[in-house]
Amino acid sequence: DAGVTQSPTHLIKTRGQHVTLRCSPISGHKSVSWYQQVLGQGPQFIFQYYEKEERGRGNFPDRFSARQFPNYSSELNVNALLLGDSALYLCASSLATDTNTGELFFGEGSRLTVL
């Protein structure tokens, strides 16, 4: 079975541009979460979606947005890119909406470089 797939794997943008990152969860998983991992740090929670509704949001500015589609895939959008947005963006899927009942399965990430 396919795991969590993310695209693109690498991309380079310039300041002020916007970016769209895509994630396909494991088949049957209805929850998708997004994390930002800056080099040398642990992942930080950005969003969680379950059944196409936003269930949680981390401490990120409004430049960050996301959505989940009827097939449970998800997009993360970042507008007005800053140098500090350079990071590995990880998508994770799970069967359940909360962390005590659902193991998170992570994709390999999309590495964004902002110049």
Partner 1 sequence: AQSVTQLGSHVSVSEGALVLLRCNYSSSVPPYLFWYVQYPNQGLQLLLKYTTGATLVKGINGFEAEFKKSETSFHLTKPSAHMSDAAEYFCAVSFQGAQKLVFGQGTRLTINP
Helices (H) and strands (E) in the chain, counts: 0, 11
Judged by CB under 8 A, does residue 56 bind partner 1? Answer: yes
Of 11, 22, 58, 79, the one binding partner 1 (CB under 8 A) is: 58
Shortest reach from residue 101's CB to partner 1, in Å: 8
Shortest reach from residue 98's CB to partner 1, in Å: 5
Judged by CB under 8 A, does residue 100 bind partner 1? Answer: yes
Judged by CB under 8 A, does residue 103 bind partner 1? Answer: yes
CA atoms of 111 and 115, how far apart (whole Å): 13
At 75 the three-state DSSP class reads strand
CA atoms of 34 and 109, how far apart (whole Å): 10
Q: Scan for tokens 């909406």, then name that residue.
A: 97
Q: How many residues bind to partner 1 according to rule CB under 8 A?
A: 25
